[in-house]
Every structure is written in structure tokens, then in C-alpha cells.
Structure 1
Amino acid sequence: MRGSFSVTVDIEDWYHIPSVCSSPYAVYRTVNEFFEKWEGRYDYLTEPTKRSLDILDEFNITATFFVVADIVEHYPGLVESIAERGHEIACHGLHHACKIDPETKEPLMSNEEFEQKTLLAKRILEKVGGEKVVGYRAPNAFVGGWMLDSLENIGFKYDSSVSVNSLYNKTDSSLKTVSSFPYYPIENGLEVGDDRNFIEFPWAYYQNVLKIPASGGPILRFLGAPLVLNGLIQSLKRGHTIFYFHPIDISCTKFPSVGNNRPFYWCMKGKPVEHRISHILKSMSDVKKVCLRDYQENEL
């Protein structure tokens, strides 16, 4: 294996997923509407985030945490505790809202609105983390090429949202020139381009007849560790690659039964997923780890 390896963690709670909030098919139009109307417990995130930090400590890993900025308001001290452990704080949007339509892939907001909200999220996270926020991951991995240009305009250095695979495409591009290793994207697009001051870190995949997404997340929960581990190993042979998980993936608490279109989304989580994450990190113990903020462009 010739590539380096980055562990990334998406900090969002159960209500941030698109079946509950901030998508065209959500129960609640926005997260703000959710908090205006929701009267039950909402914090299922704090406890598994602390366990996630302990897992990373166990394997001596400095990770990149893509944080939804409204977490700062609703979970006092949580983001600070991540930064205090030395992990990178990156941006996962202001409220985890979809920026492109999941079906048509057309923009759901203007460039100006996207830049305004994302810059606000960036500043919120920089204030609590104490360092510049230079990385972004699109909520739900729905990403358009126009978004990368806006990210560069407002001071971001990289994105990590693109997932090349044969099962689904959450982007507005065919991704014909994209693999699983970092690259410079073309302007106003996601295909591979020439040198620029912005990097895309696409996700791992396992290729046999099909390309199967293998970076973690729901694939880890539903298809298990062997597929993800094999995909990571194969992707490392191409170059640097990405693994990710959500702390709520390892929550042992039953989430509220609210949400449209995804009735079985949380049927697999908790301790089995925690064991899978630990197994993968242990299996990767001899691979060079690099926090995304520390990735050197001369490795491209």
C-alpha cells in the first residue's frame, strides 16, 4: 500500500439527516423549524462523540472532524472538547442542509446564499476551535462543482465530498476522470483539472465488476467491515484515501421514530458498528495517518 490514510468524523445528530430536516422531502423544512416544534429529547450525540474521541486516542489518531456549525449552539462545549484533543475542526455546513436537489442535482440556493451561510459556519467553528477552518464536506455528500468555486472564494483549501461508485451519484457531474485519490478539480466542476489552490479528497471505493463505495458511514453500518476494509486497502494502492464515520453510528440509544422515506435507516448501529470501526482502525495501524489539514500538495 503506497498511500496515506485520513480518518474523518462527521459531527451531526439524528435530526440532521435529510429525512428529518433540511431537504426537499424532510419532515421539518429547516433545523430552526425543528427546534421551534420539537419538544422531546434531541441530544443523542454527546455521549457517542466522547466514545469516538476515546477510540481515536486508543489508536493514537488525529482526525478531521467535519462539524455542523449549529452544534456549537445546541451542544455547549462539545466542539471545544474535540479541538482540545488536537483534532482538526472542519465545516459540515451551517445546518446540514442539502445544497443541491437529491433528484435533479440542481442548486437549491444561489452562490451568494451558499457563500453567506458557509462563511458564517466557518467563522462560528473558527471561534470555538481557535484555528482557521480550511476544510469542507457537503451535507449528505450532495455536492456540485459550483460549490467548490464558492468554497475557494471564501477561504477554504479543500473539500471531501465526492464519492465515485456504480450504485449512486450524489454530484452534478459524471465523475469520469475521478478516482479515489486527491486531485485539483476544474473550475465550476468536479472533474480532474490543472493545478489550483484547492484540493478535492474523494472517498474510497472497492472495484470488482462494479465500483462499491467503501469509505464508511452507512455502507459500514449496512454492509459491514470486510467490504469497507478491502475497499480502503485497494484505494490505498491508488494513493491517499479517506475513511469516515458518524458518532451517532455507534449510539446505543433508540432514536425518535420521525423521518420520511428512510424507515430502516437506523436499524443497524451501536456496539456492532463501534466494533467495526475499531477493527478497521486496528487493521490500518501500520498505514501512515495524516490529518487533512496537514496533507502536502506535493503528494498529488
Structure 2
Amino acid sequence: MKESFSVTVDLEDWYHIPSVCSSPYAVYKNVNEFFEKWHGRYDFLTEPTNRVLDILDEFNVTATFFVVADTVEHYPGLVESIVERGHELACHGLHHACKIDPETKTRLVSNQEFEQMTLLAKRILEKISGEKVVGYRAPNALIGGWMVDLLEQIGFKYDSSVSVNSLYNKTDSPLNKVSSFPYYPAKSRLEAGNDRNFIEFPWAYYQNGLKIPASGGPILRFLGAPLVLNGLIQSLKRGHTIFYFHPLDISCTRFPSIGKNRPFYWCIKGKLVENRIRHILKNLNEVKKICLRDYSGI
């Protein structure tokens, strides 16, 4: 087994998912419209995030938090508490909006729009963290090669959105030469290319004939800890890899029942998933864990 992996946390609330906001099939066209029209409780994020921070302290993990930048406005003090606990802030978009179509993978924004939104998000997070934000994860892991080129141009050093597996591909590239360890993406594509000043950190998968996504998130909720743990162990033998989850995954509170296309998305969560996260961290306790900014290639 190789020597390290990264624990990453996607900081977003229930309304950021594409069935509610900011996708071609969402109830609300964007987060701003959501806040204009929604009059119920919206904060289901603060309580589980505080528990995540305690879990990370318990296991002595310094994590990378991919933060949707508008949480700084709507959850005063929450992102600041992540910085105070010593974790890395990275960018998960301004409003968690899809940048490519989930079905066709065609772009939904221009280069200029992408640069403007992402730079604003970067600056918001840098003001909170007091240091450069160098990492990005595409909202909903929908990533295009053209986005990587622009990320590099505006000062990012890495992305962590690519999931190689036999079930789906959320990118605009075939990924034929991509595995579960870091690589330099080719210009304007997400295939493995030559050296550049930008690294892609793809996610873990478990291979047994098929390649099954095994990095965490919804897979952890629906398919359980053994698959994810075995996928992480197998991926560690290939090189540095990624484990990820959301604070919402461990929330014990029922979320508002609105949204299109994903009626069962949050049917498994809470203490059950928290125990799964603890099981994985306990079983990988002896493996070195580093935040992504500390990876030697950055």
C-alpha cells in the first residue's frame, strides 16, 4: 500500500444539489432565486459540519474542505471555524451550479462567465482563509477539459473531480488512460498528458472486472463501507487517492421534500453513515493522511 491519501469534505447544503438548484432540471434556476422564494428553514448544514470537525479531530485528520463560496454569506462563522481547526479551504464553485450539462456534457456557461464566477468564489474563500486557495472540485463532479485550462490560468494548482468507473462518466473526455492516482491532464481534455503546472486528483475505485466508484459520497450511503474501504485499499496500492463525504451525509434531520429526478437521494444518511465514516478512518488509521495542498507535486 502506498503511503498517503486525502480526506476531502464537500461543504454544501441540501438545496445546492442539482434537483433543487442550478441545473437544467432544477426547481430553482439558481441559489439566488431559491433564497428569494424559499421561506422555510434552510440551514441543515451547520450542525453536521460541527460534528464532522469533531470526527476529524478525533482521528487526527487534516482535511481539504471543498466549499461552496455562498456558504460564507448564509452561514456566518461556519467556514471560519473550518479554518480555525487547521483544515484546507478549496473551491466548490460560487453557488454549486452545473457548468456542463449532466446528460450531453456540453458547456452551460461561457469562458468569461466561468472565470468571473470562479474568481469571485476564490477571492471570497481567500479572504476567510488568509491564504491562496489553490484547489477546485466541480459542482456535482461535472468537469470539462476546458474548465481545467481556465482554472490553471486564474491561479488554481489542482482539481479533484474525476471519477473513473464503468458505470458513468461525468466528464467530456473518455478517460482511457486515467486511473485513481494523480496525473497531469492534457490541454483542453481530462486524459493523462504531459507535465504542466496543474494536477488532477481522481477518485478511488474498486476493480473486479468492472471499475466501481469507491471514493465515498453517495456510494458510501447506498453501497456501504466495505466497498468504499476495499476500493480505497486497492487504490492506495496504485498511488495517492481520495476519500470524500458531505456533512449532510451524517445529518439526522429530515430535509425538505422538494427536488426533481432524485426522490430517494437522501433516504440513507445520519448516524448509520457516520459510523461508516468512522469505520473507514479507523481501518486506515495507520495510513498517512494529507490535505491536498500538502501533496508533494503542488
Name the TM-score, length of structure 1 as normaliser.
0.99
CA distance in 2, matches of 1:101, 1:117: 17
Superposed CA deviations along residues 119-159 of structure 1, whole A, max 9, x for unmatched, are 00000000011111000000000000000000000000000
CA distance in 2, matches of 1:185, 1:209: 25
CA distance in 2, matches of 1:50, 1:74: 16
1:21 aligned partner = 21
Give ranges in structure 1 of 5+ residues lacking alignment: none
Number of equivalenced pairs: 298
1:147 aligned partner = 147
Question: Are the aligned partners of 1:96 and 1:139 in contact in 2 as well (CA < 8 Å)?
Answer: yes
Superposed CA deviations along residues 244-278 of structure 1, whole A, max 9, x for unmatched, are 00000000000000000000001000000000001
Question: Are the aligned partners of 1:62 and 1:290 in contact in 2 as well (CA < 8 Å)?
Answer: yes
Equivalence map 1:192-211=2 (5 Å): 192-211=192-211
Question: Are the aligned partners of 1:3 and 1:238 in contact in 2 as well (CA < 8 Å)?
Answer: no
In the alignment, residue 7 of structure 1 is paired with which amino acid?
Answer: V
Superposed CA deviations along residues 40-84 of structure 1, whole A, max 9, x for unmatched, are 000000000000000000000000000000000000000000000
Question: Are the aligned partners of 1:126 and 1:133 in contact in 2 as well (CA < 8 Å)?
Answer: yes
Superposed CA deviations along residues 1-54 of structure 1, whole A, max 9, x for unmatched, are 124110000000000000000000000000000000000000000000000000
CA distance in 2, matches of 1:220, 1:101: 25
1:46 aligned partner = 46
Query: Secondary structure of 2:289's match?
Result: coil
CA distance in 2, matches of 1:105, 1:96: 16
In the alignment, residue 282 of structure 2 is paired with which amino acid?
Answer: K
Question: Are the aligned partners of 1:215 and 1:243 in contact in 2 as well (CA < 8 Å)?
Answer: yes
1:259 aligned partner = 259
Shift of 1:213: 0.2
Shift of 1:228: 0.2
Q: CA RMSD in A?
A: 0.7
1:185 aligned partner = 185
Query: Secondary structure of 1:9's match?
Result: strand
Identity among equivalent pairs (%):
83
1:269 aligned partner = 269
Equivalence map 1:218-257=2 (5 Å): 218-257=218-257
**Structure 1: which 4+ aligned runs deviate by more than 3 Å?**
none
Shift of 1:289: 1.0
2:5 aligned partner = 5
Structure 1 residue 290 corresponds to structure 2 residue 290: yes
2:126 aligned partner = 126
1:103 aligned partner = 103
Query: Secondary structure of 2:231's match?
Result: helix
Question: Are the aligned partners of 1:3 and 1:241 in contact in 2 as well (CA < 8 Å)?
Answer: no
In the alignment, residue 99 of structure 1 is paired with which amino acid?
Answer: K
Query: Secondary structure of 1:297's match?
Result: coil
2:156 aligned partner = 156
Shift of 1:209: 1.1
2:68 aligned partner = 68
1:216 aligned partner = 216
CA distance in 2, matches of 1:50, 1:57: 11
2:117 aligned partner = 117
Shift of 1:288: 1.1
Name the TM-score, length of structure 2 as normaliser.
0.99
Give ranges in structure 2 of 5+ residues lacking alignment: none
